[in-house]
Every structure is written in C-alpha cells, then in structure tokens.
Amino acid sequence: MRAARTFGLMVPLLLTASVRAVAEDDSTIPNPAPRAPSAPAAPPAPVAPQAPVAPQAPVAPPAPVAPPAPVAPPGAGAPAAAAVPTTLQELQESFDDQEKAASRAGKRRRYDAVAAYVTARPNARDVAEARAELFRLASALEAWDVAIFRADDYLARHPLGADEVGARFAKAEALGKLGRSAEARAAYELLTRAVNPAKHGANTVLGAWNAYAAYLTELNDLEGARAAWRGFKAATATTPQAKAFAGMADEETGNLDLVRREARPFPAGTLDLAGRPVALSDYRGRVLLIEFWATWCGPCTAELPTMLSAYERFHDRGFDILGVSIDAGGEVGRVRQYVAEKQVPWRITHSTALKNPVADLWGVRGVPQTILVDRDGRVVRIGLRGMPLVREIGRLVNGR
C-alpha cells in the first residue's frame, strides 16, 4: 500500500488542510457586499507640554515583615483559583485552542482587509490574486458558503487564471463539507477534467484525483473511489511518471478492497518490545489504529505529536494504538531507544526477520501508513493522517 504520501508528492494549494473551526461571536464572515472607501483619519491633536516633575518625597523605611499566616485546612476559606490541568497534555491542548482562536481571528481580519482592497481597487494588477486569497481564506475559516461564492466569483472573472484549479477545488471541498453531495461530485468532476499534466503538472493532476477519491471514500462510495483511481491512471498514462502513478493507483484500489472487511490477523509469533505475544483479538471492543513506522522516517516523527494527542484524548474512551516498526531486524536497540526518548505509551512490535511479516501481510511498502479498525475488528479507513485521522477516531469512539 504505497499511497500518495509515500512518494512525497504534495500539492501545496490543493491539499492544504482546513483550520479547525473555533466558535467566536464575530467569526462568521457576512455575505460579501461592496464597501465604500474609508474616510481619511483626522490629524492627531497637538500634544500638551508636560508639567514639571515635583521633587520626590523622602522614602520611608520598610515596614517589618509580618510572619506568614497559618495555612487553612482543605475546604476552608475563599474558593480556590482555576483548577490546574490534570495532565501536561490537557494544558497544552488548552493553549493550542487559544492559539488557534487567535490565528482564526487574524485570518478573519485579513479576509476583511483583502475584501475591502478588492472593492476599492477592482482594476489593480493583482486583483485576481486578491480574489484567490479570498476563497482560500474563506476555506481556512470554514466559511463554506462564502468559499463557494468567492470561488465562483473568481472563476467568472478569471476562467483561465493561475488559480483556476484552486478555485475549483475550494468549491468542491466546500460543497462536500455542506453535505451537498450531488453538487460536490459534479464540482470534483469539473476539477478532474480541468487539470492536465502538460499545463498544471503531474503532481497537480494527482492532487485533484486523490481529493476526489478521498471524498468518495468518505461517502462510502468505494466503487466510485476505484473509478477515480482508474481515471487518474488514464490521465497520467503519457507522463514520464506513468509507471509509478499506475502502481500507486493500483495500491490505492487494493486498499479500498480491505475497507469494511475483517482486519487481517497478525502472524503467529508476533511479539512486542517486552516479548509479549500480540494479537488483534487483544483489542476487540476497542477502536484500534495500526501504525506502520520507522525510526528513520521523518514524516513518522512529525506525525508523532498528533498521535500522542489522540492517544491521550481518547484512550480512556476505548482507543488504542499498535505500532509496527519496519526498522531493520538488527535495529531493535535503536527502536527501544527511540520509544523511550519519545515516551511512546502504546505497544510496539518489531521483527528481527529480514522482511517484516506484519508489513508484508498488509502489503506496506512505505511509511507512515495507518489502518484504522473499529470495535468489531473491521477496517474503516486506510492511510489517514493528521486532523482527518483524529476526527475519524473521535467519530468511532463516540459511536457515530
């Protein structure tokens, strides 16, 4: 299962993750309307001269320090201050939320400023870029109706503009988020027809088809997702990367064949780092994330804070992670050191064999790779990472 992430192919605009919404009284972007230019600011009032500084009075000697009052017994006296978080993770998440709220407020102010600029300077040389910034900011703010409006406005005014693909993606994504699935499908179809390797590059084509397949997978339209990957193969058949892309599409199609089916049991004799046998049946009744990783994998290490946060948040509610290290067989000492230094709390398996039997069982050829399994032992999603993975874990833990 070598997904698009394995090849390190990124489409910076097309696959930018949306910022999680944080409720604010003033966070909703109003319906766009023309704005009159602001009136010039009045000049500042003259500053009055400073009064002369009076001479200082003699400093009195310090008063004697009183002895500390006796400590009151628990429950006595004034109510305690705000409760201290029970874990460092809880404290960090609190500050993360505050930082996200501040970032969201900044994006909202930027949106308003760019909208005012477009209204006041409709003939500016960079107005097309400014209009593109509006649909990007609306998407980042998860103001989906506004994102659709701004994307449509861009496409109407700049149908062949540099950000045409970004506008089409923003519209398709927003329609999907609003639950307007028929319109979203049509928008994704337009997106995939609009991109071509010669004009936009093979990576952009990959991003468009990958986004469409991922959306169909979310709808549980697995046959539609398979068709999307076949469409990607056809669209890139004449590119220099055709062979690699075809292999990728075949693997993604194979991943879809595993969804909704019973998770494959680990081979007999699979042990964790403590030498204890590992079986998927140990996790029946819990939501389980099987994570394939390696100590030398940079993206795996980058993903670790998200994994630790999800574990801390959901573990007591029925969630576990089972790590499968694909480091070389003789690197068990390195794996142990990494796990200890990073304070990884979940079980880790590592094989001393030349070829990792668990990775071979699941057809894993690149890391990181994830397999999400529900409480009944069925595969739900393959290849999720970041916030989409956290959201799906939360959905399963909460029984939705």
Q: Is the dihedral of CA 352, 357, 358, 362 positive or negative?
A: positive
- Specify whether the CB–CB gap between 175 and 167 falls below 8 A: no
- pLDDT of the residue at 31: 57
Bridge partners (DSSP) of residue 349 are 272, 324
Q: Which two tokens stand for residue 307?
A: 């994994």
- Mean pLDDT for all residues in the chain: 83
Check whether domain 280-397 has CATH 3.40.30.10, yes or no: yes
Of the given ranges (77-81, 199-203, 322-326, 365-369), which has the lowest mean pLDDT?
77-81
Query: In angstroms, rounded to a whole number, what is the distance separating the alpha carbons of residues 310 and 236?
Result: 37
End-to-end CA distance of the chain: 27
Architecture of the 97-258 domain:
Alpha Horseshoe (1.25)
Give the pLDDT confidence of 225-249 residue by residue, as tens digits. Answer: 999 999 999 999 999 999 999 999 9
Domain ranges of the chain: 97-258, 280-397
- pTM to 2 decimal places: 0.67
Instruction: Give me Rg for the CA atoms of the chain.
Output: 28
Element (H, E) at 379: strand 379-382
Q: Where is pLDDT greater, at 76 or 293?
A: 293
Query: In angstroms, rounded to a whole number, what is the distance separating the alpha carbons of residues 321 and 288?
Result: 6
